[in-house]
Amino acid sequence: MFVRVLGSAAGGGSPQWNCGCPVCAAVRSGAGPPRTQSSIAVSADRRQWFLVNASPDVRTQIEAFPGLHPRGDRTTPLEAVLLTDAELDHTLGLLLLREARALRLYATPAVHKVLCDGSGLVRTLERYCSVEWRPVVPGAGVSLGGGLSCRAFDVPTTKRDRFGSGENHGRVVGYRLTGERGGGTLVYLPGVQALTPALRAEIEGCDCLLVDGTCWRDDELIRLGLAGKTSREMGHLPIDGADGSLAQLASMGVRRTIFVHLNNTNPILLEDTPERRVVEDNGMEVAMDGLEVEV
Ligand code: MLT
Ligand code: MN
Ligand code: ZN
């Protein structure tokens, strides 16, 4: 299976247009690469590709990746879009795909409901192209086509429910992806608030884990005076600390652990920071846009 990180930043990207924090300022001055918003493309055969999440930067991300370029006419290698949640950084790109003849969309009923009745993105999209919704059921394996299988799993969260769907089950999911003709297992988990025993069981022993690396510290945004909430309160387990993701993941037997969905304030975005060194010294990685992994 092949994975391409299309966008490695959290909502807003890096740098974020209205942010002058030390990391955004450093990225603007060229001290680190800019990053687009959170999304990956996955394929078992390098011919048919599946997006997991559609970011507001999807157009640039597709142009930057020849694997997703159309062949001849308007036949595109993009087979379907899988969603982990209904956040705007993961779904606004759906509207930018409206030129498609039809779009196959995998989402839980909870996420689909928000996209129809909350943000309304799918209702709007349906005015441009046909949307084939495939309901995602956590725990059930699905063959996506192109030799790729996936199984979603529920990710419990107390994250603010912006669109008030009232539904908690299936509001956020992660995906376990496998090639049907062998190869390893990829777990994609761009948003996780706590590594519960059930989530640890999903991750344990996978070959590659792309995991929520939003904030380094739990109080990162509070210290910078940018927000009143901790990282956990926003639905994202911080990396640092005795109960942070790095310490918990270090013992889980995952071959490659790569942090994605990086917030613009996170010091691991820059190569020469002590925080980045801690990640690397623990044998883990920080995703960049365009990173490709064979699993
Ligand atoms: C989040 O995951 O909390 C988001 O990145 C928020 C956003 O899209 O603004
Ligand atoms: Mn996000
Ligand atoms: Zn910033």
Cα–Cα distance, 153 to 155 (Å, whole number)? 6
Cα–Cα distance, 70 to 224 (Å, whole number)? 43
User: Which amino acid appears at position 112 of this protein?
Assistant: H
How many angstroms does the Cα of residue 194 sit away from the middle of ligand 3? 24
How many angstroms does the Cα of residue 89 sit away from the middle of ligand 2? 5
Q: Which ligand is nearest to the CA of 266?
A: 3
Topology of the domain covering 2-294: Metallo-beta-lactamase; Chain A (3.60.15)
For 53, phi and psi rounded to 5 degrees?
75, 150
- Does residue 13 line the site of ligand 1, with CB under 6 A? no
- Does residue 10 line the site of ligand 1, with CB under 6 A? yes
- From residue 72, alpha-carbon distances to 69, 76, 118, 123 in Å are 10, 9, 38, 30
The closest-lying atom of ligand 1 relative to the alpha carbon of residue 12 is: 9
Q: How confident is the model at residue 74 (pLDDT cuts 50, 70, 90)?
A: confident
pLDDT in tens, 157-211: 999 888 877 778 899 999 999 999 998 999 999 999 999 999 999 999 899 999 9
How many angstroms does the Cα of residue 23 sit away from the middle of ligand 3? 6
Q: Which ligand is nearest to the CA of 162?
A: 1
- Does residue 11 line the site of ligand 1, with CB under 6 A? yes
Could you tell me how far CA 229 lies from the centroid of its own chain? 21
Q: Average pLDDT, whole number, for the chain? A: 97
pLDDT in tens, 204-230: 989 999 999 999 999 999 999 999 999
Q: Which residue has the tokens 């761009």?
A: 190
How many angstroms does the Cα of residue 233 sit away from the middle of ligand 3? 19
Structure tokens at 181: 């003709």
Domain ranges for the chain: 2-294
- The average pLDDT across 115-120 equals 96
Query: Is the separation of the CB atoms in 114 and 165 below 8 Å?
Result: yes
Query: Is the separation of the CB atoms in 295 and 3 below 8 Å?
Result: yes
- Does residue 191 line the site of ligand 1, with CB under 6 A? yes
Q: Is 96 helix (H, G, I), strand (E, B) or coil?
A: helix
Query: Is the separation of the CB atoms in 193 and 243 below 8 Å?
Result: no
Name the residues around ion ligand 2, CB cutoff 5 A: 10-11, 87, 89
Stated pTM of the model: 0.97
- Longest pairwise C-alpha distance within the chain: 54
* CB within 8 Å of 103: residues ≥ 6 apart: 80, 81, 94, 97, 125, 129, 130, 131, 132
